[in-house]
Amino acid sequence: MSADTAAPLLKTPLHALHVEFGAKMVPFGGYDMPVQYATGILAEHRHVRTAAGLFDVSHMGQVTLAGAEADVALETLVPVDIVGLAPFKQRYALFTNDQGGILDDLMVTRRENDLFLVVNAACKAQDIAHLQARIGQRCTVTPLPDQALLALQGPQAATALARLNPAVQQLVFMTGAHVVLDGIDCFATRSGYTGEDGFEISVPADKAEQLARALLAQPEVKPIGLGARDTLRLEAGLCLYGHDIDTTTTPVEASLTWAIQKVRRAGGDRAGGYPGAAVIDTHFAQGTQRKRVGLISTERMPVREGARVVTEDGTDIGVVTSGSIGPTVNQPVALAYLATPHAAVGTAVYAVVRDKRVAMTVSPLPFAPHRYHRG
């Protein structure tokens, strides 16, 4: 959680609600955000894995792209199949730079008249500027600062949300729909960042508190802070922008090749044409010198971001980019970039924590199984 101290902190439409519920507030992405509530991160994490948690993700950026060429235009900025995205389907995407590095990761949903994008809080100003500068002549780029965003996550999320509108049960993972919730016109996708089933709900900012209270009135739902959001996404093996992916990492190094459909790869019908395509195609063809992997330990000492990773003889082979005790797996887990010869599942390595070595093993991802509702 990086502190932003330069500018005065922004507040989401749910700020007063967080304070009312006893949240500990911290700076995050330029906003004053709840890191945890009274029960603490561990209890919140377990509640999301067993019931349903409500997250305020209104700090994130929401943008629409409209016009006949919007999908073709967006493909000039991302290595992802947007043209082939069916109506009301959602896809994970990446903005890349000319070196193949990742400017941000985002979600794209095709709606009836536009593409609906959700981008990261710390990147949203530059992402919107990037879209307007690069493709603003080919489609209409419209930021949506008057929309809040709520995430309802966990195995009982659908049960709770269906009380407000049973139609949400018809959605499957990575699809979206316009839905009325507690009398409010919203746009919901069945997706999220925890590895659990759940929904992300775009709601008018002036109605966000009303919807949040309606959801928190459901017996399954508790408010959850950014601390548990971080441990949940780490167990799910999901990247956090600015930590596990950034402008110095390519999608191939980051083990995100699944996000680049064959149609956009070398030899595909719409290969290339986006920033850094030559670098990324070369990485596909020839491999990379380092790779993002999961690490797990049987020891109790948590391994944090920035810890060096070494071999038994002390040779530096990489660095940890995210790490904590995984509450569900009850072991220290981490994401790290390792030199490719040491990146195979089962390889024994050591993380250096305060001059002590913590024995770790390269592990398959995710650490905790995904439980998305695929229908």
d(CA 66, CA 124): 18
* pLDDT category of residue 1 using cuts at 50, 70 and 90: very low
Bridge partners (DSSP) of residue 61 are: 119
pLDDT of residue 6: 64
d(CA 306, CA 83): 39
pLDDT of residue 7: 77
305 in Cβ contact with 243 (< 8 Å): yes
45 pLDDT higher than 60: yes
pLDDT of residue 4: 46
What number of CA atoms fall less than 13 Å from residue 69's CA on the CB side? 8
2 pLDDT higher than 80: no
Whole-number Cα distances in Å, 268 to 73, 79, 85, 86, 109:
18, 12, 16, 19, 22
High-pLDDT (> 70) share of the chain, %: 98
Neighbours of 356 (CB within 10 A): 10
**Euclidean distance between the first and final Cα of the chain, in Å?**
35
Neighbours of 141 (CB within 10 A): 22
* pLDDT category of residue 168 using cuts at 50, 70 and 90: very high
What the block records as the tokens of 147 is 């929309």
Amino acid symbol at 168: V
pLDDT tens across 115-133, in order? 999 999 999 999 999 999 9
Smallest Cα–Cα separation from 92: which of 56, 124, 118, 57? Answer: 118
Smallest Cα–Cα separation from 351: which of 334, 364, 367? Answer: 334
Average pLDDT along the chain: 97
pLDDT of residue 365: 98
226 pLDDT higher than 50: yes
Bridge partners (DSSP) of residue 177 are: 188
9 pLDDT higher than 50: yes
131 in Cβ contact with 194 (< 8 Å): no
Contacts for 88 with CB less than 8 Å, ≥ 6 apart: 109, 110, 111, 175, 176, 177
What the block records as the tokens of 273 is 């044409």
High-pLDDT (> 90) share of the chain, %: 98
52 in Cβ contact with 220 (< 8 Å): yes
